[in-house]
């Protein structure tokens, strides 16, 4: 037997997923860690945690599965996107990584728009300047930490620091590169125009690769640390969302990936680099060679239900909450919920947006509030989907869903009704790490193309289809969309 490993370096843990040639997950290793909030709105992490987590996760999965490291034929990488890792000319980390959820860079975003022009920025990169992206973090370091700025020799993203530790190579996949705001979306590589306008040295930026391309092989030191074989190839992989799309086989136009975790992501593959002229839809390269994707993000998806449980029903299980919601008809008897509990990104890039229940009466009780939360999250995801369709994406033929929220049959049905599409689940819940393993399988030569590998290794099961409540939800969604414009002035005053 031979195997591939997918490694996911997320914000809170590193996961190593061991996959055999049939696509079965034969083992999972996990190593958890934290991140730092040294000031309000800041979010930082020691890159050494990712390497330590990788070593621990790989050793754990090999031990628990009883597999020899020499039987692993390729490694794929994925992880949190947009983080800024700065190294000197010796490869030493210069400061803690600034993470995707850091919000300190508002002024730098304004500077990027002035330097390039907002329309030109979107035309080149496919995106507006947002605080979470990598480029404004670089400008922040230039303006606030000049001693660090002068010593920069290499810029990496989080998973690519792990790659450096594994292989000694400075390399980056094109999907994650597109999330830096420094990429030419159509050319699938660094934009000389953006780099020059922002005063960023092109020599700092690593060579870029397509998702299944081999970027290097394990060094002897990395092999000794992890238990894998020296010389094992490491493929480029992809950022967590593009790798997750591979992991649910959302690799062709018409198939949409929906991630319903703490945040909610709607992801659609495209054959061409589409752009939203207003920059409300993220447009990135896909981990599938020669393909791109559109993506919208809501910040509090399943996180909204977690907030409700913790604040208003402590100790009650999620299954019990959704069973209560089943007792209420679609539309929650006129109660609406805005899920902007931590601000919002799509469709409103507004960190000051706030959550709200609207329409409460004495006839409503906890059951109505739970169902309104489920429906409000679905409406927010529909907002993102509508933006993507307006940008040129075809309406989905199927939504392939993953994440903790999908465990609820009621929520799956609400999503099918609101999104007006079949909602399916897949054979593994390992998402991005499984997608990284599929990319490794292509790099190992098991398959010629990523599309072939994903379709062969991912088992899709339809879970819900639009039903009789579809029309009622369409009317409720219209009312929902009126709420943010009406309440935004109050949110900002608050």
Which residue numbers are catalytic?
240
Of 404, 412, 406, 337, which is closest to residue 370 (Cα–Cα)? 337
Query: CA 177 to CA 157: how far, in whole Å?
Result: 8
Tokens of residue 13, six digits: 């843990």
Q: Count of CB atoms within 10 A of residue 227's CB?
A: 18
Pairing mode, if any, of strands 171-173 and 207-209? parallel
Region class of 429: left (phi > 0), else alpha (psi between -120 and 50), else beta: alpha
Please answer whether residues 60 and 30 qualify as being in contact, where contact means their C-beta atoms are separated by less than 8 angstroms: yes
Q: How far, in Å, are 65, 172, 214 from residue 164 at the CA level? A: 26, 10, 13
Query: CA 6 to CA 373: how far, in whole Å?
Result: 34
Query: CA 393 to CA 386: how far, in whole Å?
Result: 9
Secondary structure (3-state) at 78:
strand
Please answer whether residues 152 and 88 qualify as being in contact, where contact means their C-beta atoms are separated by less than 8 angstroms: yes
């Amino acid at each position: 037997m031979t195997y591939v490993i997918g490694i996911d370096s997320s914000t809170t843990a590193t996961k190593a997923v061991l996959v055999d040639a049939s696509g079965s997950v034969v083992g999972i290793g996990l190593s958890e860690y934290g991140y730092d909030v040294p000031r309000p709105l800041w979010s930082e992490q020691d890159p050494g945690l990712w390497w330590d987590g990788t070593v621990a996760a790989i050793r754990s999965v090999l031990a628990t599965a009883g597999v020899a490291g020499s039987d692993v034929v390729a490694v794929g990488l994925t992880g949190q996107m947009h983080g800024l890792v700065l190294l000197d000319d010796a490869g030493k980390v210069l400061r803690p990584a600034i993470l995707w959820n850091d919000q300190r860079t508002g002024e730098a975003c304004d500077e990027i728009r002035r330097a390039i022009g907002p329309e030109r920025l979107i035309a080149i990169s496919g995106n507006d300047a947002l605080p979470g992206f990598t480029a404004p973090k670089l400008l922040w370091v230039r303006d606030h930490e000049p001693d660090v700025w002068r010593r920069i020799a290499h810029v990496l993203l989080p998973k690519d620091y792990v790659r450096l530790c594994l292989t000694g190579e400075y390399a980056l996949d094109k999907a994650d590169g597109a999330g830096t705001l420094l990429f030419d979306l159509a050319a699938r590589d660094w934009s000389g125009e953006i780099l020059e306008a922002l005063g960023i040295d092109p020599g700092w930026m690593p060579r870029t690769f397509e998702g299944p391309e081999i970027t290097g092989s394990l060094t002897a030191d990395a092999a000794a640390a992890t238990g894998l074989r020296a010389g094992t190839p490491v493929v480029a992989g992809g950022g967590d969302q593009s790798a997750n799309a591979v992991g649910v086989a959302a690799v062709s136009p018409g198939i949409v990936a929906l991630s319903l975790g703490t945040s909610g992501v709607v992801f659609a593959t495209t054959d061409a680099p589409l752009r939203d002229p207003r920059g409300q839809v993220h447009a990135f390269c896909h981990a599938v060679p020669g393909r791109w994707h559109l993506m919208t993000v809501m910040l509090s998806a399943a996180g909204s239900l977690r907030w409700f449980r913790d604040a208003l029903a402590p100790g009650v299980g999620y299954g019990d909450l959704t069973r209560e919601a089943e007792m209420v008809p679609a539309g929650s008897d006129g109660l609406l919920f805005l899920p902007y509990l931590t601000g919002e990104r799509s469709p409103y890039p507004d960190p000051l947006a706030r959550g709200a229940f609207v329409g409460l009466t004495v006839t409503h009780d906890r059951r109505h509030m739970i169902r309104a939360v489920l429906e409000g999250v679905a409406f927010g995801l529909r907002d993102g989907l509508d933006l993507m369709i307006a940008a040129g994406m075809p309406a989905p033929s199927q939504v392939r869903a993953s994440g903790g929220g999908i465990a609820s049959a009621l929520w799956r049905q609400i999503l099918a009704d609101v999104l007006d599409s079949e909602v399916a689940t897949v054979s593994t819940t390992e998402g991005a790490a499984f997608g990284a393993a599929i990319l490794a399988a292509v790099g190992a030569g098991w398959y010629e193309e990523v599309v072939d590998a994903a379709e062969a290794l991912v088992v899709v099961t339809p879970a819900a289809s639009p039903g009789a409540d579809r029309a009622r939800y369409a009317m409720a969604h219209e009312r929902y969309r009126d709420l943010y414009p009406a309440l935004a002035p109050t949110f900002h005053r608050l």
